[in-house]
Amino acid sequence: MSRIFSGVQPTGDLHLGNYLGAIRNFVGLQDDFECLYCVVDLHAITVWQDPEKLAANTREVAAAFLAAGIDPTRSIMFNQSQVPAHAELAWIFNCVARVGWLNRMTQFKEKAGKHRENASVGLYVYPNLMAADILAYKATHVPVGEDQKQHLELTRDIAIKFNNDFDVEFLPVVEPLIFGEATRVMSLRDGSKKMSKSDPSDYSRINLTDGPDDIAQKIRKARTDADALPGPDALASDGRHVEAAHEKARPEAYNLLSIYAALAEQSMAVTLEQFEGAQFSSFKGELADLSVAKLGPIGEEMQRLMADPGHVDGILRDGAARANAIAEPVLREAHEIVGFLNP
Ligand code: AMP
Ligand code: TRP
């Protein structure tokens, strides 16, 4: 049986990349699978979070889930720190994963930067906690943006090593679900950098809570180049993806086109045909209108939900109880396999 798990960190300023790369994909999966969607507050504190803002940001991610269309009666929606199994299983995985594996993680290198000695130990073992999130539910499929691929490889390695070490067939080997036309949304200011919450420039990203004027202005100011828009010639031989060399030469142009394709829910091929030879000024007008039409209602619904924290907290509490009912027996079984005495 398939089970879906994914997580989003409550670190503030949810953006278009989070929506197109992850949250929007969560919604459709509800029709066919049992889904768990988690606000990963334990992961958030691997870098400093102001306690008051953390609570508000946790509610913001929950509001984004709901506003995007996650149905808390069909799916289980909760925050990580309310279910103790995540941290407990992560400890066992800290003893399964190898230092050499974690040393290869590019996200740690990026986030720790030059001050590696000063990074929290939590940031280093972050991928082990992520593996625990998923495997505490024996989830089989994980929808994420492209940047999480390496972490999911590690989750697979942990499951395989645990099963081998203890000679059991206990943990599933998970499959990443990376799909849609915008699995890696780039900064609006620099097409070589990923759109990110931590970029100091607010003009680099479209936040899900931005109003129509902000959205339109950010698109108008987005960096482009001097040429007219490319056409379907840019596609690779698969007819679906843009040829890497083309993308490298005009990263901003292809980023905006892929955002359009994703928001319009149409293929890149159709989008390239539609805008072949157009000037950026007219394309940006259409992209701004589409973005406002698609994102505006989500932002408004988020604002409405965030004004009622009691309602959101109730949904998270209920989700945590249901999540706990699944994770607790898995943790008990893990304890038995490892040789811990259960109460
Ligand atoms: P985070 O905010 O780091 O917890 O990310 C939550 C989800 O959004 C993950 O599945 C990420 O892969 C996805 N994501 C974050 N940034 C981007 C981006 N720029 N493009 C596509 N997906 C993204
Ligand atoms: N590391 C993910 C990110 O930054 C968030 C995350 C934590 C996650 N636990 C997870 C994603 C489990 C998928 C499954 O985007």
For domain 202-305, give the CATH superfamily. Answer: Tyrosyl-Transfer RNA Synthetase (1.10.240.10)
Nearest protein CA to atom 3 of ligand 2, as residue: 8
Helices (H) and strands (E) in the chain, counts: 15, 5
| H-assigned helices in 41-190 | 41-44, 51-68, 85-94, 99-103, 106-112, 121-135, 149-166
In the prediction, which pLDDT does 132 show?
99
In the prediction, which pLDDT does 1 show?
80
Among 138, 194, 218, 294, the one annotated catalytic: 194
Q: Domain segments of the chain: what residues?
A: 3-181+309-338, 202-305
Q: Tens digit of pLDDT for each residue in 21-66?
A: 999 999 999 999 999 999 999 999 999 999 999 999 999 999 999 9
CB of 7 closer than 6 A to ligand 2?
Answer: yes
Q: Judge whether 197 counts as a catalytic residue.
A: yes
Q: Which of 131, 152, 79 is nearest to 330 (CA)?
A: 131
Mutate to test the pocket of ligand 2, among 123, 144, 150, 174 (most ligand atoms within 8 A of CB): 144
In the prediction, which pLDDT does 245 show?
96
Q: Which amino acid is located at 320 in the chain?
A: A
Q: Judge whether 138 counts as a catalytic residue.
A: no
**What is the C-alpha to C-alpha distance for residues 24 and 177, in angstroms, rounded to an integer?**
12
In the prediction, which pLDDT does 247 show?
95
Q: Which of 72, 41, 76, 43 is nearest to 59 (CA)?
A: 41
**What is the C-alpha to C-alpha distance for residues 114 and 111, in angstroms, rounded to an integer?**
9
- Side by side, the strands of the sheet bearing 76-79 are 76-79, 34-39, 3-8, 141-143, 175-177
In the prediction, which pLDDT does 343 show?
79
In the prediction, which pLDDT does 320 show?
98
With a threshold of 0.95, does the pTM exceed it? yes
CA of 133 from ligand 2 middle (Å) equals 8
Q: Tens digit of pLDDT for each residue in 115-130?
A: 899 999 999 999 999 9
> Residue 250: what are its φ and ψ, rounded to 5°?
-135, 60
CB 206 within 8 A of CB 215: yes
CB 232 within 8 A of CB 272: yes
> Which of the residues in the chain have pLDDT under 70?
none
Query: Which residues, other chains included, contact 42 with Cβ-Cβ below 8 Å and sequence gap of 6+?
Result: 80, 81, 86, 87, 129
Fold match, 3-181+309-338 / 202-305:
no
Q: Judge whether 111 counts as a catalytic residue.
A: yes
For domain 3-181+309-338, give the CATH superfamily. Answer: HUPs (3.40.50.620)
